[in-house]
Amino acid sequence: MRLAADAPAPDWDSIEFAFECADPENRAYYDTVTGEVCVTGPFEDDPGERERIDAAPQRYLEIDRLPTHERFQRMERFAREEVGDPQLRERLLRALEGRGPFRRFKEALLSAPPVRQRWFAYEAAALRRAIEQWFAERDLAVRTAPPWARGSDATSHAAGG
């Protein structure tokens, strides 16, 4: 992630929400001028957003939701690599079979609160890596590093501006 003084300061919370949003009717766009996230769809806060995006499409980049298969692979990887208890690992892997694997996986974690907490941290870290990769792939500069990266390697790539 590239930092620059003249770049927008992204709304990191809204970006995280946009990446996680499972509603197929909503679309999220990153405003490369302001750093805001615009959401369009049946329940958008500002009905004029779609018109603004259409009027300046080069300014807005669509934020694609994380693909379901990536989220599924993340759960499988967590169960196989991060869960030491063989019985819990097997329950988690069985939960991923058939319909409703996301709900069943989270339900299986209810019986192991410490592992459940580790899952949420694991999932958040993976989401944040995906966000950072999205910015890097588009060579988008930002004024402020995301809150999770402050003081880490991300801020050492600051560019003058």
Tens-place pLDDT, residues 44-57: 666 788 889 999 99
Residue 155 lies in a domain: no
Q: What is the pLDDT of residues 33-80, one digit of tens each?
A: 999 999 888 776 667 888 899 999 999 999 988 888 999 999 999 999
pTM for the full model? 0.83
pLDDT band at 117 (very low <50, low <70, confident <90, very high): very high
Output the CA torsion 42→126→59→27 (10° steps): -10
In terms of domains, do 11 and 62 share one? Answer: yes
Phi, psi at residue 110, to the nearest 5°? -60, -30
In terms of domains, do 23 and 12 share one? Answer: yes
In terms of domains, do 28 and 72 share one? Answer: no
Number of domains in the chain: 2
In terms of domains, do 45 and 72 share one? Answer: no
In terms of domains, do 61 and 6 share one? Answer: yes
Residue 18 lies in a domain: yes
Tell me which residue range forms the domain holding 7: 2-66+138-147
Residues near 149 by beta carbon (within 8 Å), at least 6 away in sequence: 1, 128, 132, 155
Grouping H, G, I as helix, E, B as strand and the rest as coil, residue 63 is strand
Residue 38 lies in a domain: yes
Rounded Cα–Cα distance for residues 135 and 83 (Å)? 31
pLDDT band at 151 (very low <50, low <70, confident <90, very high): low
Q: Tell whether the model's pLDDT for residue 131 goes beyond 90.
A: yes
Beta bridge partners of residue 4, listed in sequence order: 159
Grouping H, G, I as helix, E, B as strand and the rest as coil, residue 40 is strand
Rounded Cα–Cα distance for residues 156 and 161 (Å)? 15
In terms of domains, do 60 and 75 share one? Answer: no
Residue 130 lies in a domain: no
Residue 142 lies in a domain: yes
In terms of domains, do 11 and 60 share one? Answer: yes
In terms of domains, do 52 and 73 share one? Answer: no
